[in-house]
């Protein structure tokens, strides 16, 4: 059985809220995922241990944004696939059209979420612009090449 993320984690709630914001605003929600053996995605689309997926309702079927997993069906190259992503493997969620969204801290060694240190001032979510290659579920188009030199998402703080 897979380990569930900490029950007090805000990540699933923030993912649902930003997914809803993207959808309500007419944007296309994308998630960047750090892939390991707990993630069920088409491995042929994984680059450098990461995959970026279109999680909009037009590109997915039967999507569930749960507290432990994101689950949906999508077509890759015309072939339907079952996608299961543990919430703690999601690195970022953002709108494709403007890059606004949120990134989540990940430990480089294990890929696990890093606890955010409490500050004396109230913490606000960091909105980010993410530049990366995109793998759109339901699309047969070649994704654009990454703009960051390492191929990893490049995050920029937006105030």
Angle at the Cα of 22 from the Cα atoms of 17 and 25, rounded to 5 degrees: 120
CA 137 – CA 129 distance, rounded (Å)? 21
131-152: b (≥16 Cβ within 10 Å) or e: ebbbbbbeeeeeeeebeeeeeb
Phi then psi dihedrals of residue 90, to 5 deg:
-80, 120
Indicate the average pLDDT of the chain: 76
Residue-wise pLDDT tens digits, 100-128 = 999 998 855 445 544 444 333 344 344 43
Whether residue 50 has pLDDT greater than 90: yes
Q: Which superfamily is assigned to 11-114+122-158 in CATH?
A: SspB-like (2.30.30.220)
State both tokens at 21.
Answer: 């914001």
Extents of the domains making up the chain: 11-114+122-158
CA-wise closest residue to 30 among 158, 159, 108, 144: 144
pLDDT at 149 over 60: no
What was the pLDDT predicted at 105?
Answer: 86
Q: Are 102 and 134 in contact (CB under 8 A)?
A: no
The structure's pTM equals: 0.66
């Amino acid at each position: 059985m897979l380990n569930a993320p900490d029950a007090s984690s805000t990540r699933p709630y923030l993912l649902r809220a930003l997914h809803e914001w993207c959808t309500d605003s007419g944007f296309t929600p994308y998630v960047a995922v750090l892939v390991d053996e707990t993630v069920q995605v088409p491995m042929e689309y994984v680059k450098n241990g990461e995959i970026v997926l279109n999680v909009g309702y037009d590109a997915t079927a039967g999507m569930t944004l749960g507290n432990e997993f994101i689950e949906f069906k999508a077509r890759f190259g015309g072939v339907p696939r079952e996608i299961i992503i543990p919430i703690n493997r999601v690195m970022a969620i953002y709108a494709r059209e403007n890059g606004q969204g949120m990134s989540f801290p990940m430990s480089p060694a294990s890929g696990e979420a890093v606890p955010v240190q409490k500050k004396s001032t109230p913490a606000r979510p960091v909105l980010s612009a993410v530049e990366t290659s995109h793998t759109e579920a339901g699309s047969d188009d070649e994704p654009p090449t990454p703009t960051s030199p390492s191929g990893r998402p490049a995050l920029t703080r937006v105030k």
